Amino acid sequence: MTGAVGASLAAALLAVASRPLPGRGADEPRTVQVRAREIWTAAGQRVSDALLLVVDGRVRSVKAGAEADPELPLVVHDGVVTAGLIACHTDSGAQGELEDDSRSVMPTALAAYAFDPEHPDFERALAAGITALALTPGDENLVGGLTCVVKTAGARVLEREATLAISFSSRALGRSGSQGFFLLGAAEGGAGPTAAEEGGPELTARTQRGSREPTSYSGALLMLRKLFAEKEGPFARAAGGELPVTLEALDRHEVLRAARFAVEHDLVGAIRGAPLASDPDVVAALRETHLGVIVGPWSADQTVRSLESVRALAEAGIPVAFALDAPLHHPEELRLFAARALWAGAGHDAVFRALTSDAARLVGTPDHIGTLEPGRDADFVLWSGDPLDLSSRIEAVYVDGVRRWTAPARPASNERDEKHHR
């Protein structure tokens, strides 16, 4: 009797648990067929006149010239279908929430608890063909915390502890070279004179952060070496490669320091930043590591040397991906970065990998997203043409086999012109 009650209770719980997640579009069937002019399952693997079969949110198969199953829904697309794009290193939906400079070492802080899932940043990213984002905590902290990977549709967390964020940049050092100019109020709630007026040091944002170790590269290394000697916890998992790392490093000497540390502790993951990664000495140092490089975000006046880093790294066999840093940069800029990398000599396949499979690997989720191989999450984009061609448009974006974004209908351009000139 009690056994039967227990069993029915368990069944009820199971029924609750297996109900689809709430959110727009989540109730739609997650099984669909897409016939397209071309389907790119991975970089350099293009199938013409192809049929993509998605069953229960995952890719089942991609076949050339296959017959569609009349029982299943079919979408016909006169264009290119690729895996959804992946943006590394962004603040989407979490602006100002990923920095906590009260402590310089916060290895268990979780970026997964920093973002607002209803923030329009995620919808914007989805509209730009980005189906997954990595949110990296605290690059002004020596150890910022744990990166999370989020699917843009419904802001669902795919990986809560994707990488451990560590900073080798001077931005993480207590009192860095560039001192702020902002005089902060003295006492809390009081309008008393500032310390500077009293002849003391200016209470700038920087000097306030002066309460923290370390203030130097050597001090930072000393602290990191101690942390990596711990027998358990995030550092122990990172040493040896179980938990990937994201190491921020900007100047070339910082990149070399990070690379050296990564070799010493057998780290896997990525360097984030490295604007001069095209330097042959930097490339040589990175080849000794198991690290890739997350480049960007690039500004409009970025030097050619920076843009060439994708080519230089790819030629050396080092995986590359792009940082987006939304909302400072609009998600549409991700494709702009890719186009500029192409312009600066990188190969088409290398750049496409940087947007998809290499990005998935560098943010610590190599098995679920980044390609349209069987078993992967059915996150894909319907393009009018080559996604690296900036004139190509997005017609629809699917996440977990469900159409989550559709291009708004718009009048043909000549029609609009006619209206305008009438």
Partner 1 sequence: MRSITARLVVLLVVVTAARTAAAQQRSEQDHWTVRAAMVYTAAGAPIEKGSVAIADGKIAAVGGGGGGDVLEVAAVTPGLIDLSIEIDTGNCSVEQSSEVAAALSVADSLDLFSYEWDRALRSGVTTALAVPADFDVVGGLGVVLKTGGPPTLEARLVRGDAVLRGAIGTQPSSGNSMPRFSAPQSFYYRRPTTRMGVEWVFRKFFWDTLQGEGADDERTADDQTVARRVLKGDLPLSIRARATQDVRTAIYLKEEFGIPRVILHDAVEAWREPELLVRSKVAVVLPPIPPDGRVEDGFVNDSYFVPLDAAKKLADLHVPFALSGQSNATVGTRIADQAGLAQRGGLSFEAALAAVTIEPARMVGVQDRVGSIEVGKDADLVLWSGKPFEPTSRIVGVLLNGRLMIDPRAETR
Q: Which residues bind partner 1 (CB under 8 A)?
A: 170, 173-177, 186-188, 190, 192, 195, 198-201, 203, 207-208, 210-219, 221-222, 251-253, 256-257, 279, 281, 285
**Residue 284 Cβ vs partner 1, minimum distance, rounded to whole Å:** 8
Closer residue to partner 1 in complex, CB, 231/410: 231
Closer residue to partner 1 in complex, CB, 193/240: 193
- Residue 151's contacts (CB-CB under 8 Å, 6 or more residues apart) are 131, 132, 157, 158, 379, 399, 400
Given CA atoms 206, 209, 210, 212 in this order, what sign does their dihedral have? negative
Contact 58, 354 (CB under 8 A): no
Give the span between the Cα atoms of 86 and 71, in whole angstroms: 33
**Residue 174 Cβ vs partner 1, minimum distance, rounded to whole Å:** 7
**Residue 282 Cβ vs partner 1, minimum distance, rounded to whole Å:** 9
Closer residue to partner 1 in complex, CB, 210/375: 210
Closer residue to partner 1 in complex, CB, 53/259: 259
Closer residue to partner 1 in complex, CB, 126/282: 282
E strand map for 314-377: 320-322
Give the span between the Cα atoms of 241 and 268, in whole angstroms: 5
Give the span between the Cα atoms of 126 and 379, in whole angstroms: 11
**Residue 203 Cβ vs partner 1, minimum distance, rounded to whole Å:** 6
**Residue 344 Cβ vs partner 1, minimum distance, rounded to whole Å:** 21
**Residue 221 Cβ vs partner 1, minimum distance, rounded to whole Å:** 5
Given CA atoms 379, 382, 385, 390 in this order, what sign does their dihedral have? negative
How buried is residue 17: exposed, middle or buried, by Cβ count under 10 Å (0-12/13-18/19+)? exposed
Closer residue to partner 1 in complex, CB, 251/332: 251
Give the span between the Cα atoms of 148 and 165, in whole angstroms: 10
What type of residue is 371? Answer: T
